[in-house]
Amino acid sequence: MLRPLIVSFREGVAYRAKGNLLWLLHRISGLGIVVFLGFHIFGMSMAAFNPALHERALELYKTPPFAIGELLLAFLLIFHAVNGTRIAILELRPQLWEKQELATRLSLIITALLTAPTLAIMAYKSISHFLAH
Amino acid sequence: MKITLKIKRFNPEVDKKPHWESYTVEVEPTDRVLDALHEVKWTQDGTLALRRSCAHGICGSDAMRINGRNMLACKALIKDVAKDGVITVEPILGLPVVKDLIVDMEPFFAHYRAIMPYLVNNDPPPERERLQSPEDRARYDDTTKCILCACCTTSCPSFWARGEYVGPAAIVQAHRFIFDSRDQAGEERLRILSEPDGVWRCRTVFNCTEACPRGIQVTKAIGEVKEALRTGVIR
């Protein structure tokens, strides 16, 4: 089951093309979000099945490595959403294929514009939390 | 000028896995990568295996990965691809390597045959040719340029992950007949392409469009086939 995933990542890294890099990042961000969701659902379900473990997980989420992970997650979410929208539009309107380089640039700019303030606010809140404790 | 060709070699009778070998050759900047490969094969190492036929970008035999990207060796100029005097050459991805730069193309051609790459028209043959307006002919002009070199299919992440995927080249060939006003098997081809290993495995990565040595708008053609499947209208 994992073979297609491993093969496509291995070949994806070996192949040098512009579109390929975006595809790789899209896949990595998608995988990252799925892994986070898995952890999140598991962690939340522990509130019902194992409250002590749930409390420990909440404490763990407040540590610096998880704060950095949250920043990374925010970037992956925004990139995946914006790039996914670009792909969906080009899928539905094949006539726009000539604009695909422009669309790629636009999606990267929108990702940067949305990511910068989000990460700034999150980083500010995390740093404030760590300084207060 | 002197350049170093780094070639990924693999001889299944001797090697367990592929390895790199370097060759220094004297070439002109306007020579092609194919000329440099010939220089290696004819003057340095006759065991190097590569496939080529017309050597002029028409037959599509010498598709390979040059500096990590699919190209035809006969169309890639040394001056365009040499980086600090070094060029890497590898076989295309996703197909079994037979020896060195030669891959087994049979899985690729099997997908090509699957989409019925021929005109189907069951009407009684006219006295002369089946006429078509210039507008109708222009509708599929772009996809008639395909030379079946496999540059597009073997640059596709979906094909790397699943060899059963019909691949961009077969979809381009299907497009060439689906949108031909004289053809009567468009719906049958669309049915074939709507199967799980058909057109929906395309992830709109655009590697195929970037790799096509004939400049075919491959992703657009695939998008038009998807659109025909979505709307049920061939136009």
DSSP secondary structure of A5-69? HHHHHHHHHHS--HHHHHHHHHHHHHHHHHHHHHHHHHHHHHHHH-HHHHHHHHHHHTSHHHHHH
Largest Cα span, chain B: 62
Q: Measured between CA atoms, how close is B94 to chain A, in angstroms?
A: 8
A22-26, A49-53, B9-13: range with highest mean pLDDT: B9-13
Q: How many CB atoms lie within 10 A of CB B234?
A: 19
Q: Is A85 an 8 Å CB contact of chain B?
A: no
Check pLDDT > 80 for residue A1. Answer: no
Q: What is the mean pLDDT of residues A54-69?
A: 88
Across the interface, whether the CB atoms of B209 and A91 are under 8 A apart is answered: no
pLDDT given for residue B174 in this prediction: 98
**Residue-level pLDDT at A10:** 86
Give the nearest partner residue to B157 out of A8, A95, A100, using CB atoms.
A8
B100-122 residue pLDDT tens: 999 999 999 999 999 999 999 99
Tell me what pLDDT residue A3 has: 79
pLDDT score of B218: 96
Q: What CATH fold (topology level) applies to the domain A3-132? A: 3 helical TM bundles of succinate and fumarate reductases (1.20.1300)
Can you say whether residue B232 is alpha, beta or left, with left for phi > 0 and alpha for psi between -120 and 50 degrees? left
Higher pLDDT, A39 or B139: B139
Quick check: A4 and B203 CB within 8 A? no
Q: Among residues A105, A101, A6, which one has the least CA distance to residue B157?
A: A6
Query: What distance in Å separates residue B70's CA from the closest CA in chain A?
Result: 8
- Which positions of chain B have pLDDT values less than 50? none
* pLDDT given for residue A87 in this prediction: 93
Chain B CB contacts of A11 under 8 Å are 93-94, 157, 160
Calculate how close chain B gets to A112, using CA atoms only, in Å: 21
* Contact between residue B7 and residue B100 where contact means Cβ atoms under 8 Å apart: yes
- The pLDDT tens digits for A68-116 are 999 999 999 999 999 999 999 998 888 888 888 899 999 999 999 999 9
Residue B122 token pair: 């069951």
Question: What's the confidence (pLDDT) of residue B147?
Answer: 98
What 8-state DSSP symbol labels residue B6? E
Question: Is A94 in CB contact (< 8 Å) with chain B?
Answer: yes
Cβ within 8 Å, pair A20-B205: yes
Please give the pLDDT value at position A95: 85
What residue segments make up the domains of chain A, in order of their start? 3-132
* pLDDT at res. B215: 96
